[in-house]
Amino acid sequence: MEKKTYNNLELDVYEEVLDNGLHMFVCPMDRNEVFAKITTLYGSSILEFKPHGKDEFIEIPKGTAHFLEHKMFAKKDGEDIMNKFQQNGASNNAFTSSHVTSYYFSAPNKFFENLENLLHLVTEPYYTDENVLKEQGIIDQEIKAGFDDPEQSAYYTTLFNTFSKLPYRYPVAGYTNSIKDITPEILYDCYNTFYHPSNMVLTITGNVDALETIKFVKEFYAKLDYKNMPQIEVKEYDEPREVFKEEEIMYKDISNYILENGYKVYLKDIDVDLLKVLQYVEMYLAIKFGSISKFNQECFEDKNILTPIRYMFDNKDDYLYIDFDTKVIEKKDIFERIYNNINDKEFSKEDFDLILKNILRATILMSENVGRMNNSIDYQFRKYGRVVYDIYDVYKSLNYEECVKVINALDFTHNTRTIVTKK
């Protein structure tokens, strides 16, 4: 066990790697609750891999990771894990993204009872033909609802048209025809490969004793027989820098236009640490499109624009994906305005300094919230292979000149446009 300290945040983190390979991070915080999360490095973007104990690659149905998340709550003795959390006064849930699947709870008391339930949840798979068939019906309705929703459908289409080969282009839940091919055998192949403790990380923040917590987790896993896990082999893809399709028009039962705009930005040409690159991009987008931006004010005054032009971004392998969406009365020149604004790489040091102050303030506030702190530790370990204990110092070292250099090196020209209009 190693004790680490966050610089300038006055928080200690106890790191432990169990004999089975599980990475643990425990961060005691003087709060009246605990947030615990266990994450497997397996998300919807893994569709081709070599299962544990087998010699050949297999291709699994789209949506399998999300399906597996649902089925982890099914237990052989029929016990209701969610009800057990609720009886202990805990709030619990799970989610699947393109990168990971996470299970978590937050609670003011009965910590060890809830932690044991969380560990039981991810260590006791139970898949049968009957419960898989039942789940197919439930998720089928979930998928149909998503594609019936004009905004979600626009997002799915934009993501699909952005990437050509990377499985990020597919919805996390998959498609109605793909989940029909999921079987208990496929779920066990995925579970035995990706739910091994060596491919998982457990993060705990809040009102806990670190030494007692680590001891408890070690004793729990000591009862289970986990053999050494070989390196997981996942298919790699040669993704082109261009988008798959530049524009698509969709027809839905709506009264106005829904516009979605996806940008695909190659990151590997940048000779700067990824952590800084992503932070500079976040700052740049806030300056150009955020609440303080001239662009945002112009959109607010434009009566044609019914909802603010929202943006989000995510790092997907060697690429950055940036998504814009809005609702308008007439399509007009919205896409062109976004394009011109993101490619007009002029911004002032004053704006940069203002955003940086907000980032430093947010970092301090994050250290006072058990959920946000938990998410930060989990994210940093997965993204950078380590917890960034000098994160405040890293942010403080960000400078305008390097930001300009990074932004100027990024190519914001490859984008796809989705137009949803009335039938």
Q: How far is CA 22 from CA 100, 102, 158, 198, in A?
A: 15, 14, 37, 5
69 flagged as catalytic: yes
Rounded CA separation 157/168 (Å): 12
Tokens 């997965």 locate to 382
Chain CA centroid to CA 17, Å? 23
Rounded CA separation 265/220 (Å): 44
Q: Which of 10, 15, 56, 69 is catalytic?
A: 69
Q: How far is CA 398 from CA 278, 314, 351, 390, in A?
A: 12, 20, 13, 13
Query: 26 pairs with which residues across the strands?
Result: 14, 204
Q: If residue 259 lies in a helix (H) or strand (E), which one and from where to where?
A: strand 257-266
Rounded CA separation 303/216 (Å): 59
Q: For the chain, give me the number of helices (H) and strands (E)?
A: 15, 15
The Cβ of residue 44 has, within 10 Å, a number of other Cβ atoms equal to 25
Take residue 208 and report the two structure tokens written for it: 């806990």
The Cβ of residue 41 has, within 10 Å, a number of other Cβ atoms equal to 16
The Cβ of residue 250 has, within 10 Å, a number of other Cβ atoms equal to 15
Which residues are the active-site residues?
Answer: 69
